Amino acid sequence: MRKRVVVPAAVAAGLLVFTGIAQAAALKVMADSPLGPALSKVADLYRQETRTQVELVLAPSPVVKQKIDAGETADVVLVQPDFVEELTKSGKVGAGDRPMIGRVGIGLGARADSPAPDISTPGKLKEFLLGVDTLSFNKVQSGNYFAKVLERLGIAETLKPKIVRTSPLGIFESALKGKANDIAAGTIPLIATTSGIRYLGPLPGDLQVYLTYTAVPLASTPQPEAAENFIRFLTSAKAKDTFAANGVN
């Protein structure tokens, strides 16, 4: 005769919770590239706490919008607010809360064995940049802003022969293959988390600009509750600490 096993109610409830977590569907998150280094670490925390797999698709905000407009599906999108507004107008994103996840600034990086210059004032930054061998920055929003910084400093034409415009992930090629005086300008999280690159510091004073990001669920997500849960996690104290430690404030 079989013995009957009685499971206490509290244990049974715990098993049900665990089963629900273990069977949580994967989330697809499309996000702006500068968030990538920090967001990947936050997504790892979320996996550990919920057992929910998070697939990150990273591209510049304009490309993320283009992909969504072309029919690519996802559960959550993290882009700059202007692009969220455009997605809302086209019906890709519904109305509702749009929490700000963080912001990233622009800084300089060089090969890891390069000396650390003082770029703490516009004058010192200008003096340093005039002495570089090459200066690489991207062709998207942060790079376009940096080009305006060079104009404000009055050195855009002087540096023109030394400037290399490239993709966001290609800005370190010259620095890694060249000399210690080959410099890259880009978003701080990307510089701070790239192997072989030394973060030299942020743009000083009012030369600095911040790219801000918000997170929203896409209207087409088949799992809106899971998408909202992930967005709530992004605003938690643990997530914010991880973002801050990786250059997203």
CB 239 within 8 A of CB 42: yes
User: What separation in angstroms does the CA of 98 have from each of 52, 75, 217?
Assistant: 22, 14, 9
Within 13 Å of residue 247, how many CA atoms lie on the same side as its CB? Answer: 25
150-160: per-residue pLDDT in tens? 999 999 999 99
Q: Kindly report the average pLDDT of the chain as a whole number.
A: 88
14-51: per-residue pLDDT in tens? 433 333 443 457 999 999 988 998 999 999 999 999 99
- Name the pairing type of β-strands 106-111 and 182-187: antiparallel
CA distance 170 to 164: 10
Domain 26-103+211-245: CATH superfamily, name plus number:
Periplasmic binding protein-like II (3.40.190.10)
At residue 24, the pLDDT reads 55
Q: How many CB atoms lie within 10 A of CB 248?
A: 25
CATH 3.40.190.10 positions along the chain are 26-103+211-245, 106-207
User: What separation in angstroms does the CA of 34 have from each of 61, 95, 184, 198?
Assistant: 10, 25, 15, 17
Name the pTM for this structure: 0.76
The token duo for 190 is 């990307």
CA distance 136 to 170: 8
CATH code of the domain made up of 106-207: 3.40.190.10
At residue 104, the pLDDT reads 92
Counting residues of the chain whose pLDDT is more than 90, the rounded percentage is 69
Res. 54: pLDDT tops 50: yes
At residue 222, the pLDDT reads 93
What sign results for the dihedral spanned by CA atoms 107, 139, 148, 209?
negative
Per-residue confidence band for 3, with pLDDT thresholds at 50, 70 and 90? very low
160-212: per-residue pLDDT in tens? 999 999 988 899 999 999 877 999 999 998 898 889 999 999 999 999 999 99
Per-residue confidence band for 12, with pLDDT thresholds at 50, 70 and 90? very low
At residue 50, the pLDDT reads 94
At residue 178, the pLDDT reads 84
